[in-house]
Amino acid sequence: MNGLRRIAISLIVVMGSSLAAAQQPARLTGKVSIDGSSTVAPIMKATAELFRAEQPQVKVSVGISGTTGGFKKFLEADAALRTDISAASRPITAEETRMASERGIRFVELPVAYDGLAVVVNKKNDFCKSLTLAELKRIWEPESKIRNWKDVRPGFPDMPLRLYGPGTASGTFDYFTEVVVGKARASRSDYTGSEDDNVIATGVEGDIGAMGYLGYSYFALGAAKLNAVAIDPGDGKPVAPDRTTISDRTYRPLARPLFVYVNVESLKRAEVEALVTFFYRNAKKIVEHPKVNYVVLEEDVYAAATRRLADRTLGSLFADHAALQAPLRQTYVKREND
């Protein structure tokens, strides 16, 4: 009897081990290369860190060349030098899409989170609570002559205005200039620029006359050190950036979606598909991770993105600026249902 019991126990242990092994994901090896937006980088770094616990033999690199710099690497003429995934704080441009087509590069465009651009001033600045979109344009447009706060609005003090913002390789720069100035990449050049939002934040923190713009999440993480300016889009109703106004897009026009672009050839490698799939299985956990702190997309938008990935749906849905300002549910979910 004891012998039969030992055999039965052994069978149970073996079956249990087999079931546990079957439930574990296949062990993968290889490398996944990601580059692009410094704004999207925290999402991809958190994804890589959590993915490592599941797939410790897969090496994931995350660079921060800026959105434009990232697309250059994604679209390299030499296929061996191309990145697998491009992180972007703006949609791919028509020129970049044309280059992809010429080089035979097929990609899937996937939204990952909402973010907003915070216009920030020094904590001791007690006079600039809000700005109109027209005032922002006059400050940032090419050849702007505004170098003092008194020239921004009557009643503002006689104080030098020093500006900080993203470098020209940044998708944040592209997005801000398009929605504020009216043309992507049209900006005054006499400002301190950096692809690193921490540099912008530090510059504004240390200068009472400073103004800058940067990703809302960076502002939120260090909100005690900066003031965010409410933005009046032209209706006389200034709106400050927060998680709610960014999610419902009432913070206009500086709320925006964030993206990743995945090379379809790279998706043929199990480790690349596993990483992207892992993100969408854990999107809420990753996007709201303390090291990320962005605004999650609606569940049906994530579901639509997952289907785009599974179906290898090619190309961009953001051929014009109007599409970018529309709610993502309209862009992804309604399009599927029509």
Alpha helices of the chain — where are they, by DSSP H?
2-23, 41-54, 67-74, 94-102, 133-140, 171-176, 197-205, 216-221, 243-247, 270-281, 283-287, 299-311, 321-325, 328, 335-337
* 312 and 214 in a common domain: no
Q: How confident is the model at residue 2 (pLDDT cuts 50, 70, 90)?
A: low
Question: Which pLDDT score is estimated for 6?
Answer: 56
Q: How confident is the model at residue 196 (pLDDT cuts 50, 70, 90)?
A: confident
Does residue 308 sit within a domain? yes
* 230 and 152 in a common domain: yes
Nearest partner of 116 among 227, 257, 283, judged by Cα: 257
Pairwise CA distance, residues 199 & 85, whole Å: 25
* 83 and 100 in a common domain: yes
Pairwise CA distance, residues 221 & 121, whole Å: 15
Question: Which pLDDT score is estimated for 320?
Answer: 67
Question: Which pLDDT score is estimated for 337?
Answer: 65
pLDDT above 70 covers a percentage of the chain that reads: 90
Report how many domains make up the chain.
2
14 or 39, which is more confident? Answer: 39
Of 95-104, 169-178, 268-277, 309-318, the range with the lowest mean pLDDT is: 169-178
**Per-chain mean pLDDT for the chain:** 90
Question: Which pLDDT score is estimated for 336?
Answer: 64
* 141 and 89 in a common domain: no
Axis-axis angle for helices 270-281, 41-54 (nearest 10): 110
- CATH number, residue 281: 3.40.190.10
Task: State pLDDT tens for residues 201-240.
Answer: 999 999 999 999 998 988 888 888 999 999 999 999 999 9
The mean pLDDT of 95-101, rounded to a whole number, is 97
Q: Omega before 253 cis (within 30°)?
A: yes
Does residue 13 sit within a domain? no
Tokens of 321: 């600026």
Instruction: Provide the residue range defining the domain that includes 43.
Output: 29-114+257-337
Strand partners of residue 109: 261
Strands 162-166 and 107-122, how do they pair? unpaired
Question: Which pLDDT score is estimated for 319?
Answer: 76
Does residue 19 sit within a domain? no
Q: How confident is the model at residue 21 (pLDDT cuts 50, 70, 90)?
A: very low
Question: Which pLDDT score is estimated for 102?
Answer: 97
The mean pLDDT of 54-62, rounded to a whole number, is 97
Question: Which pLDDT score is estimated for 329?
Answer: 85
* 282 and 228 in a common domain: no
